[in-house]
Structures are given as structure tokens and as C-alpha cells.
Amino acid sequence: MGKDLCVQSTSSMSPSSLSYSVQKPRSPESNFLAEGTAAVHGLRRALAELLASVDADPSEPQEVSRRFKLDKTLTWRISRMIREEDAWEAVGHIPGRPSIRSLVQKLESSGAPAQNAEAVRQAMESFERFVARHSGDRETFEIMVGAGDRPSASKRMEMFRKQGFLANSAAWGIQARLQIGFTIMAPSAEPGMIDMASINGLVDLRRLRANIPWAVANAHAWEDAATEIDARPEPLDGGGVNGVPLIPEFCTQPLPSTRIKSSPLGSKRFEIIDGGLGYTGATTVVIGWKWARTASIYGSRPDDTGEHGVHLWTPVEHMIHDLVVHKSLGFAMNPTASIYSDLPGGPRYPFEGSDVGRMNMPDEVVSLGASPPSMTTVEYPRYRELVDYAFARTGWNPNDFHAFRHRVRYPTIPTIALLRHPLLPPIAVEGGSAA
């Protein structure tokens, strides 16, 4: 049921000459891609033939602009579109209907044959029918095209995320230039366990409305998709400030007022509760904590992973998420990055699994080297100093570590950014059970 039966005939109509094949119906995505490719290439071909009919070279957009008194931006876009063989890369250069109309009129009045001009009009109408059928309008179509994995799609998605950053800044009345988060993993004194230190911060946090309370970070851990546990962190700076693990040396002075909010599941949310407006009231808030015997290096199942997350709740221009791994922990030396939805209505990670809620955002992980890793960043000149501070407070030698970085501009909120690595396979203990 629900499948098409295709009958293919050879030269004879005898029963033995008939072959049958069962084909699955096309998915909505494949229909979209096939129709879109045809519509874009049809428009490219019609425009190329129109220019050829008046001996205009699409590889010389400035000359076309001068000769036919056309807008330079228009001729540049037409040139890029015609020369781009990938239909979905060409999409971003397709002008609107008024610009196409202007082009056709100018070239037709300069001697282009009527049939070539009409072919462009028909091809543009075909493209616009495709957009209307699948997307409704060009703006929504640009979003749909931006969901792919091509370079132009990545640029489009960053543009949309920037628009989201501005919209969220206006809606929530707050924004920051940079969110940082890094975790250091080291072998514990207890065999088979891991110690960790984590630092999170918001750099140049700016209120667009006065005295808005805002969460800086959230401390919690999970064992699996159904169980969340209290990680019992200790402030990296000793006692912290009023129970909040602030690192005053890296915070704006005077220190902002802070408080702790606890959830029924045992997690802790650290909030700042006052501050001025705009750049004159900008605040940098950095907190840090450490855990002893945080987790086992062994999974309870063969496919278990270690995961290190940063909650993205604040509209920020840049996010930098680093994982710093002791060289002895070889299983964690090839981390991968992903970002998941953190919307309260779900799906929420990790409770509903790793196959749902993943966001379309950059996931490249870059090695920062080792012995020691190079962790400087132009967005926060004191970042290297902050890393050195973390090593000094833990007593670990930075020459024993390798670092990895995941970076995103204008990350969507609310989400959680994860750096994930395998764990060692379960070990057998007496009686045959797994540790």
C-alpha cells in the first residue's frame, strides 16, 4: 500500500517482455529539491540565452551594466547566477521580479528577440510559482534553502541567527558580546574516575532595560537519558561569593549582586540581579567550579559517551566552548560538537535521546594543540590568563593537556551546546556484570 507500480515495456507486448519494479514515493524533500533545481536551472538558461542574443558576456557584469545602463548590483547578481552551476548556490543571487523585468525591458529595447525575452518572463514565473507552492514567499524560501550544508547555506543561516540575536535582545532586554565555557578533564586519584573543572562566563553583558535578573550558568549533570544527578560542584575560587562560584579577579568591579536558584532535580542556576544600562553598565561575569570523581571513564553500555554542555540562554554575538583533555585520556581525543533545543516544551536533551531536537548550527571542532594548548581568542584578551588561573587552582600541569574548540556566531537560544566523546567499554567484574 502507498507504493507506485511501474510497468516498463520492451519492444514486444508479450507477457515475458514486461518487467515490474516497485518504487517508493518521493519524499517531500526530494520533490522540493527536484522541482527547485529544475526551476532555477530553467531561469539560468533563459537569462544566459537572453544575454547571448545581444552579444552580452555574463562574465563581464560591469561591461553589461555600462552598455545597457543597468544597475551594477543587478548585473553582478545575474552574472553570479548564470555562472553558478549548483542550483542551490545560484538561488541566493536570483533578483526579484521588478529587477528581472527591468533587465528584460532594457535588453529587449536593445534588440533582444521577443522569444528570448518571453522565455525569461516564463522562467521567472515558473520559479515564483515554485516558491509560492513550497514556501509562500521569498523570505521563507531563503530560510528553507539555508537549511542545507552548502557554504552559501551556512552564510544564510548565520544571517538569520543574527536577526534572531537582535530580536531576542529586544524581547529580553539583554545581550552579551561573548559567552565562554570550557571544561578541563583529568584522571582522578581514584582509578577509573575523572576529575573536572569548568568555567563559564558572559563577557560585556549589556542590559537594554534596567535591573533585569539573568542566569549566568547552570550546574548539573546527568547519568543517562532518564536520570539527572546533583554534581556537587565546589567553587574554583574557594568559597565563592555568597555561595555563587564567582571568580572576582575576572569579573567587572564592583561585583554584581548574585543569587542561586535550585531546581527540584538538584541543578543550580546562578543569577545576577542588578546592573546598569547599555555599554556604560556592561558587566563581565565569570564563574568556575570543580568536581572530584565526577564520572567513570567506563560506559555502562558499549555506545555510552561523555558529554560536556553549555546552556545558551543569553543573546550573544559569539560562543566559544572548549574541552581540555589530559593526554592520558586518549578515548576523549576526538570530540564532536552538536547543539540541541532547550525549549521547555521539548524535545529536551538528554531526556528524549540524541536523535531529536538537534539544531542546524555549525558543528566544526578545531584542535588547539597541546603541551600546552593555545587557547587565546581575540574576543576576550584575558581568556589565556583565565585558563592559566584554572590550571593553577587545580594544580594540573597545562603541558599534560590537549584542547579542542567549538565556536558559533549568534547561537540560537534557548539551546544547549555539547562536546561529546566516547567512553571506554564497560569492564567485567566478578560475577560477569559490568562496572
CB 316 within 8 A of CB 164: no
What is the per-residue pLDDT for 434?
41
Q: In the structure grid, which three cell numbers stand for residue 287, read together?
A: 564563574
CB 284 within 8 A of CB 251: yes
Residues of the chain with pLDDT under 70: 1-29, 146-152, 218-232, 239-240, 263-267, 350, 353, 428-435
Same domain flag for 180 and 294: yes
What is the per-residue pLDDT for 171?
94
Same domain flag for 244 and 290: yes
Same domain flag for 141 and 164: no
φ, ψ dihedrals at 404, nearest 5° = -135, 145
Same domain flag for 216 and 277: yes
Same domain flag for 103 and 181: no
Same domain flag for 200 and 249: yes
What is the CATH number for 418?
2.60.40
Q: Which domain holds residue 124?
A: 28-145
Same domain flag for 90 and 175: no
Radius of gyration of the chain (CA): 28
Same domain flag for 131 and 254: no
In a domain, 370, yes or no: yes
Same domain flag for 213 and 258: yes
Residue-by-residue DSSP string for 260-288: EEE-TTS-EEEEE----BTGGG-EEEEEE
pTM: predicted TM-score of the whole model, two decimal places? 0.72
In a domain, 75, yes or no: yes
Q: How far apart (Å, rounded) are the C-alpha atoms in residues 360 and 339?
A: 8
Same domain flag for 139 and 174: no
In a domain, 381, yes or no: yes
CB 238 within 8 A of CB 244: no
What is the per-residue pLDDT for 6?
34
In a domain, 4, yes or no: no
Same domain flag for 330 and 360: yes
- Report the domain count for the chain: 2
What is the per-residue pLDDT for 390?
96
Same domain flag for 295 and 408: yes
Give the pairing of strands 401-409 and 221-224. Answer: unpaired
